[in-house]
């Protein structure tokens, strides 16, 4: 039994919450019965992320708000958040000794950099005799367990994955947040260098950020969950089907819980079991289109991403078709900066930059447009733009969805292309969404709002908006470009099939007949 109190660190990374935090609860267990210890909740500002991950102003603000909310919640329980700066390996090597740490806990992260980082921290911990405990929590299931239940094979279709998790059964139920941490608090105040980060430290310019529609933090996450997934809203929850929601409604037609799940402000298991309560005993939609299906999509891309080398790249990615994309900075910048000349596409990209969130089907349409639909640019370039602007950017989901929509993996109906005109008209025939995000087109008549270049010059002059001057003409003709790109995709698919057949032949065992001849 330890006579003097030692320190235990819980390392917050993406699990920025107190509820259903298995690793935090594990940190509150003594190594030996009767031990006295101090809990040190730590978050590290890792310079690797600033150098290697694009993070725009809106997501930076969301992260800062989440950290502040987490610190506020910890303080209510008698603790506080320690924010350190630097390479986690170096930081912990220092803190392990300084604080006399005997145990550290954290939530599993399956991304490549995180795995290597955690391996190095574990090595330092072992050297300094610090016990390391990793706990699941960011996903519904343990991803290695899912792979083992699929005979060691990565499930590459959503149908296969849904069958797999259905056969396994429900994920574990969420655990409650700790009720009090005061008895684990240190007696002295935290050092100044371990205080919460300022806006200046994160280079956050509020004037460059959009309107804060979705504040970060666990408090907001749980509030939003209660508002959206509740018995008062049961009919909508039970009948929800993602393809039937509007990608261009003026207010979100979905839950917008994704940023909170991404940052770990909301536990995916808490989300799952909240759905279960509303579903139980009533007829409801099914995966993949249901709300539960959206959680399964997330789990699917996490599973594939965790077990596929170079998952976020084309080259070296064994599940990704090698497609000869063009590299045209003019087209890429026009797409990124809402200058394609197609109002629906430009409005979606404006909403993305300003608000940090766009509907899933809107993401589909602009991703298809950039890649196989109209511009024939690499999905990796689009992935980088989403990485910069999305509040809910997630390494696994971002790469998986971009491969899907570019028909580079998972999806093979490459000839099904989103129209940059007709698709938006289905749910917004008057173009209210376009008028909101492209105010320069606000006065265009309904008949021209999706195709302003077709408005007579006299109409354009009356409105004070000349297409090609005040708003760009379409960079490409959709009908021509999409047909040409379908032909290119057909050739790419044929080349991929041929390469796969050749690879299978090269590595297949010799037949019995050939074996006899060789004898």
pLDDT digits (tens, 9 = 90+) for 3-21: 789 999 999 999 999 999 9
Q: How crowded is residue 169: how many other Cβ atoms within 10 Å of its Cβ? A: 7
pLDDT grade, residue 499 (50/70/90)?
A: confident
Dist CA 366 CA 370 (whole Å): 6
More confidently predicted of 449 and 504: 449
The tens digit of pLDDT for each residue in 85-128 reads 999 999 999 999 999 999 999 999 999 999 999 999 999 999 99
- The answer for residues whose C-beta is within 8 angstroms of residue 471's C-beta and 6 or more apart is 341, 438, 440, 441, 452, 465
Classify domain 139-174+218-307 at the CATH topology level: 1.25.40
The tens digit of pLDDT for each residue in 251-306 reads 999 999 999 999 999 999 999 999 999 999 999 999 999 999 999 999 999 999 99
What pLDDT, on the 0 to 100 scale, is given for residue 154? Answer: 96
Write the DSSP symbol of residue 326.
Answer: B
What pLDDT, on the 0 to 100 scale, is given for residue 204? Answer: 72
What pLDDT, on the 0 to 100 scale, is given for residue 271? Answer: 98
Dist CA 518 CA 473 (whole Å): 67
* Whole-number average pLDDT of the chain: 94
Instruction: Give me the CATH code for the 1-138 domain, please.
Output: 3.40.50.620
What pLDDT, on the 0 to 100 scale, is given for residue 498? Answer: 85
pLDDT at 497 exceeding the cut of 90: no
Structure tokens at 75: 């303080």
What pLDDT, on the 0 to 100 scale, is given for residue 508? Answer: 58
pLDDT at 507 exceeding the cut of 80: no
The tens digit of pLDDT for each residue in 171-221 reads 999 999 999 999 999 876 656 567 888 777 776 777 767 889 999 999 999
pLDDT at 494 exceeding the cut of 50: yes
The tens digit of pLDDT for each residue in 27-81 reads 999 999 999 999 999 999 999 999 999 999 999 999 999 999 999 999 999 999 9
What CATH superfamily classification does 329-478 receive?
DNA Cyclobutane Dipyrimidine Photolyase, subunit A, domain 3 (1.10.579.10)
Q: Give domain limits for the chain.
A: 1-138, 139-174+218-307, 329-478
What pLDDT, on the 0 to 100 scale, is given for residue 1? Answer: 46
Starting at the earlier edge strand, list the strands of the sheet with 6-12: 82-85, 37-45, 6-12, 101-107, 131-135
Instruction: Please report which helix (H) or strand (E) contains residue 103, including its range.
Output: strand 101-107
Residue 175 φ then ψ, to 5°: -95, 150
pLDDT at 517 exceeding the cut of 60: no
The tens digit of pLDDT for each residue in 74-86 reads 999 999 999 999 9
Distance of CA 280 to the CA centre of its chain: 28
What pLDDT, on the 0 to 100 scale, is given for residue 515? Answer: 29
The position carrying tokens 């998972």 is: 410
**Taking a C-beta distance cutoff of 8 angstroms, is the pair 214, 259 a contact?**
yes
The stretch 390-410 carries a mean pLDDT of 98
The stretch 155-171 carries a mean pLDDT of 96
What pLDDT, on the 0 to 100 scale, is given for residue 2? Answer: 46
What pLDDT, on the 0 to 100 scale, is given for residue 193? Answer: 63
The tens digit of pLDDT for each residue in 126-144 reads 999 999 999 999 999 999 9
What pLDDT, on the 0 to 100 scale, is given for residue 516? Answer: 30
């Amino acid at each position: 039994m330890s006579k003097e109190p030692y320190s235990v660190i819980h390392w917050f990374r993406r699990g920025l919450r107190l509820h259903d935090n298995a690793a935090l609860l594990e940190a509150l267990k003594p190594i030996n019965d009767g031990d006295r210890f101090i809990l040190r909740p730590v978050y590290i500002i890792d310079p690797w992320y600033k150098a290697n991950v694009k993070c725009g102003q809106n997501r930076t603000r969301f992260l800062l708000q989440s950290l502040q909310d987490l610190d506020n919640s910890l303080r209510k329980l008698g603790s506080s958040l320690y924010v350190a700066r630097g390479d986690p390996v170096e930081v912990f090597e220092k803190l392990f000794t300084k604080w006399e740490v005997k145990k550290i806990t954290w939530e599993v992260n399956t991304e490549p950099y995180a795995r290597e980082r955690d391996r190095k921290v574990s090595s330092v911990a072992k050297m300094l005799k610090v016990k390391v405990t990793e706990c699941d929590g960011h996903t519904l299931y343990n991803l290695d367990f899912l792979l083992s239940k699929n005979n060691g094979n990565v499930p590459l279709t959503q149908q296969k994955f849904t069958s797999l998790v259905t056969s396994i059964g429900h994920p574990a139920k969420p655990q409650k947040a700790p009720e009090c941490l005061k008895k684990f608090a240190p007696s002295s105040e935290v050092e100044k260098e371990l205080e919460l980060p300022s806006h200046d430290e994160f280079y956050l310019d509020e004037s460059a950020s959009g309107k804060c529609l979705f504040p970060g933090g666990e408090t907001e996450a749980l509030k939003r969950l209660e508002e959206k997934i509740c018995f008062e809203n049961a009919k909508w929850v039970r009948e929800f089907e993602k393809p039937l929601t509007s990608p261009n409604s003026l207010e979100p037609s979905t839950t917008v819980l994704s940023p909170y799940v991404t940052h770990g402000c909301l536990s995916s298991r808490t989300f799952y079991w909240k759905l279960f309560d509303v579903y139980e005993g009533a007829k409801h939609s099914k995966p993949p289109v249901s709300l539960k299906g959206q959680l399964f999509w997330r789990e699917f891309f996490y599973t594939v991403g965790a077990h596929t080398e170079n998952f976020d790249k084309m080259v070296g990615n064994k599940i990704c078709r090698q497609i000869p994309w063009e590299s045209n900075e003019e087209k890429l910048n026009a797409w990124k900066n809402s200058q394609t000349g197609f109002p629906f596409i430009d409005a979606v990209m404006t909403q993305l930059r300003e608000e940090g969130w766009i509907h899933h089907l809107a993401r589909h349409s602009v991703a298809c447009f950039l890649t196989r639909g109209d511009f024939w640019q690499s999905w990796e370039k689009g992935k980088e733009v989403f990485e910069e602007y999305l509040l809910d950017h997630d390494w696994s989901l971002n790469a998986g969805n971009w491969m899907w929509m570019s028909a580079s993996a998972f999806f093979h109906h490459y000839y099904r292309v989103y129209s940059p005109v007709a698709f938006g008209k289905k749910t917004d025939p008057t173009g209210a969404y376009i008028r909101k995000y492209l105010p320069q087109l606000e006065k265009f008549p309904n008949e021209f709002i999706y195709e302003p270049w077709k408005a007579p010059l006299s109409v354009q002059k009356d409105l004070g908006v000349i297409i090609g001057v005040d708003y760009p003409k379409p960079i490409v003709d959709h009908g021509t470009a999409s047909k040409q790109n379908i032909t290119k995709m057909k050739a790419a698919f044929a080349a991929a099939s041929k390469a796969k057949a050749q690879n299978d032949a090269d590595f297949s065992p010799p037949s019995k007949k050939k074996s006899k001849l060789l004898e």
